[in-house]
Structure 1
Amino acid sequence: MLTRFARKIGRLFVIKTKFEAFAIIYALALGATERAMVYLQHYPGWPGKLLALCCTGAVFMGGAKIIDAIDLRAQLGYDD
């Protein structure tokens, strides 16, 4: 009984479609740009710009991996 309930809860955290992936990437990008603005205010000059670039670059790399994983799951035929 508990395993069936845990499996249902676990399925909520699986990204199944590209729409869900893009929504998550958008939310990550909003948070990263907000954090980048804080870095630019607290660290003026090139350190702040470097940290801001790292924030936004991480979203690009993570988003690419998320989309690749969605394509791989579709290619392998997972039906979650």
Structure 2
Amino acid sequence: MKDKLARLFTIRTKFEVFLVIYALALGAVERGRVYLEIYPNFGGKLLFVACTLVVFVAGGKLIDAVDADRERERDG
């Protein structure tokens, strides 16, 4: 039962990765918008950019992980 539940939260394909990246981006932009309201000057802009850049870093790591898993399955 634990394995079936864990399988639900496993990202296997690039399409699933892109869906996760999209969800992360939506959340990051919303959080950045809130930061712009709270800190209207340079600080808010800096936090907005930081929120959105994290999505690029996480997205790259997710895509690399799916590619590595696919190569491992193919080789082994």
**TM-score, normalising length: structure 1:** 0.90
Q: Which residue of 1 aligns with 2:22?
A: 26
1:57 aligned counterpart, secondary structure: helix
**Which consecutive residues of structure 1, in runs of 5 or more, have no partner in the other structure?**
none
User: Structure 1 CA distance, aligned partners of 2:67 and 2:58?
Assistant: 14
Number of aligned residue pairs: give it. Answer: 74
Stretches of 4+ moved more than 6 A in 1?
A: none
Question: Once the 2 structures are TM-superposed, how far is the Cα of residue 44 of structure 1 from its aligned partner?
Answer: 1.1
Aligned sequence identity (%): 53
**Residue deviations 1:39-79 (CA, integer Å, cap 9, x gap):** 0010011100110011000000000000000000001117x
For 1:46, the equivalent position in structure 2 comes to 42
So what's the TM-score if we normalise by structure 2?
Answer: 0.94
Q: Which has the higher helix share?
A: 2
SS in 1 for 2:47: helix
Q: How does 1:1-80 map to 2 (within 5 A)?
A: 5-77=1-73
